[in-house]
């Protein structure tokens, strides 16, 4: 599994976190029998439970900001990739 979202320039600790996150995602995907949607759902559920169980509003605010940023980055990347496939629609 490769990393799909490059959000910012990263420090060494962020690079290590990305490697750990990729390993965690692979473990969830393997445990879900290769069902990416199920693995994503379980990982998202665990993340949500962690945020909700946090007594500090800081964690929730940080996660909400990160979620918004990630969604915006994914939308931009999806739009960029869709543009690359636009000429293929004319082939049909």
Same domain, 62 and 47: no
Query: How far from chain centre, in Å, is Cα 49?
Result: 17
* Contact in structure between 73 and 7 (CB atoms under 8 Å): yes
Supply 61's token pair: 């605010």
Same domain, 49 and 61: no
- What pLDDT digit, counting tens, does each position of 20-60 carry? 999 999 999 999 999 999 999 998 898 888 888 877 678 88
Same domain, 47 and 69: no
Q: How far apart are CA 75 and CA 77, in angstroms?
A: 5
Q: Has this prediction a pTM greater than 0.75?
A: no
For the chain, percent of residues with pLDDT exceeding 70: 80
Same domain, 45 and 63: no
Helix, strand or coil, per DSSP, at residue 31: helix
Same domain, 49 and 20: yes
Same domain, 35 and 48: yes
């Amino acid at each position: 599994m490769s990393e799909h979202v490059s959000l910012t320039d990263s420090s060494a600790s962020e690079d290590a976190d990305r490697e750990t996150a990729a390993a965690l995602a692979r473990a969830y995907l393997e445990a879900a029998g290769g069902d990416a949607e199920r693995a994503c759902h379980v990982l998202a559920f665990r993340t949500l439970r962690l945020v909700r169980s946090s007594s500090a509003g800081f964690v929730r605010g940080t996660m909400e900001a990160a979620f918004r940023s990630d969604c915006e980055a994914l939308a931009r990347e999806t739009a960029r990739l869709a543009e690359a496939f636009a000429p293929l629609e004319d082939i049909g």
